[in-house]
Structure 1
């Protein structure tokens, strides 16, 4: 059985010390797979997927500024544009310029910004509960995105999602068997959320999320123009990004491969046994 080694590294980008995980595949010419994590997690959410794929592919998973093990300097502006700036600089710093890109949750607005700037970098696209269409916004998500700093009670609503109960619910919501969800993921996420300054970073990103919805038409146009080979894997019981968001991609990518699974937002947690073979088959073609 081939089990990859995983290196844990750091590189400085515009004053941000970016932490990332990188598999050391069995062959030097292995194709690259970039994994972009979601909220409120970090690259650790991909540990099992990296073990499953990392011997055949150079799998790379960075932590965004203010997430996981990546620290941002004082005064860093937490917007999705800035997260994309750092990821773009990170990819240039490690000289990764051709890869398949896996986007999940926050990874979609970060990844699509990078793709807009460098379409030549994206060989293939894997979307897992990463939204780019208003069809994929639940009423709960729409209400959350509409929150503004000056709105009475807005900060309290956002901070409620940043609690241990809120973090755990994102992992277990919509899951058929909660015993398949390891507590390590949401426990570690909460550890990082509770570090100094991290909740303030999440508040800023929550207030900036509307900028992503405003860019949906541009991302859809990018998909139509560049038509990357695409695999879509979606947990249908996602409380934020429901199933219509998955099918919406087919309007612009009619040849995309779509699989809807009977799980929730963090579909890899209980669906790795289904998702990893789909990715391996998709990338090997």
Structure 2
């Protein structure tokens, strides 16, 4: 019988600024490191199949942001749920783990967190993988802009956001633009919904949605960072994402004309339908980084 090579995936916690931050880790410590930052409404769980695909040959680390997955969810009355604060925690996470060199995978909420991290620790970023992680105004769809225009205290604003936290809202996010719905694992949205149904988590998501518009004011800074540091970049994008548009993917090429650029005929969670293709691109990308 042929022996199979399967990755050993560890599930750990580390304390950062008094918070227990959960993370998944796989692969040899001396292999190229990829730090993966998840989005809304999920957690590092979204990368589980990517870990299974790449975790034997590459060093993969994926934390859960505060308020997500298995990381602590402090009360919003005591913890400021802003993207600035999330990035501070993840910067502390990188320091606690003493990650000195890594490629950065940014997706959805992971993009505004990741770009802040890249600005704080630019010398550590060896490369950038962008998967439906926006940094350009033209990447904001009309639908998403309607959410960004909402403000605390505005009549009906909370109700509109809470609709995104329901089964129907999650189905819309996971399935819009998908050609083969049977490839989308329903366990993912079921796990997300179980956490979103917690009253404390509803308040967390309200706070982050209301804060998201501040990210748009940082776009020029992140674009300047891209032009200045010109990290080797791989862009893999689900072109039918209802929130982050294809135009936002193409906009990266203005600042990173040498980036590898790949569009996929799918929606927001491109890994669900196109794991094999994207995992292969990531492996080739990491190999090139390692080769210099």
- Residue number in structure 2 paired with 1:257: 260
Map 1:46-195; keep pairs closer than 5 Å: 46-74=47-75, 75-195=78-198
Number of paired residues? Answer: 283
- Residue number in structure 1 paired with 2:38: 37
Q: Which runs of 4+ in 1 moved over 6 A?
A: none
Report the Cα distance in structure 2 between the residues aligned to 1:88 and 1:188, rounded to whole angstroms.
26
Report the Cα distance in structure 2 between the residues aligned to 1:214 and 1:140, rounded to whole angstroms.
19
Contact map agreement 1:235 1:261 (CA 8 A) in 2: yes
Q: 1:226 aligns with which of 224, 229, 233?
A: 229
Report the Cα distance in structure 2 between the residues aligned to 1:20 and 1:196, rounded to whole angstroms.
24
Report the Cα distance in structure 2 between the residues aligned to 1:189 and 1:72, rounded to whole angstroms.
14
Report the Cα distance in structure 2 between the residues aligned to 1:273 and 1:195, rounded to whole angstroms.
34
Report the Cα distance in structure 2 between the residues aligned to 1:150 and 1:184, rounded to whole angstroms.
34
How far 1:66 moved relative to its partner? Answer: 0.5
Report the Cα distance in structure 2 between the residues aligned to 1:221 and 1:92, rounded to whole angstroms.
24
Contact map agreement 2:67 2:74 (CA 8 A) in 1: no
SS at match of 2:163: helix
Contact map agreement 1:15 1:72 (CA 8 A) in 2: no
How far 1:135 moved relative to its partner? Answer: 1.0
User: What TM-score do the two structures reach when normalised by structure 1?
Assistant: 0.98
What residue ranges of structure 1 are gaps of 5+ in the alignment? none
Report the Cα distance in structure 1 between the residues aligned to 2:14 and 2:168, rounded to whole angstroms.
33
Report the Cα distance in structure 1 between the residues aligned to 2:29 and 2:155, rounded to whole angstroms.
55
- Residue number in structure 1 paired with 2:238: 235
How far 1:244 moved relative to its partner? Answer: 0.5
User: What TM-score do the two structures reach when normalised by structure 2?
Assistant: 0.95
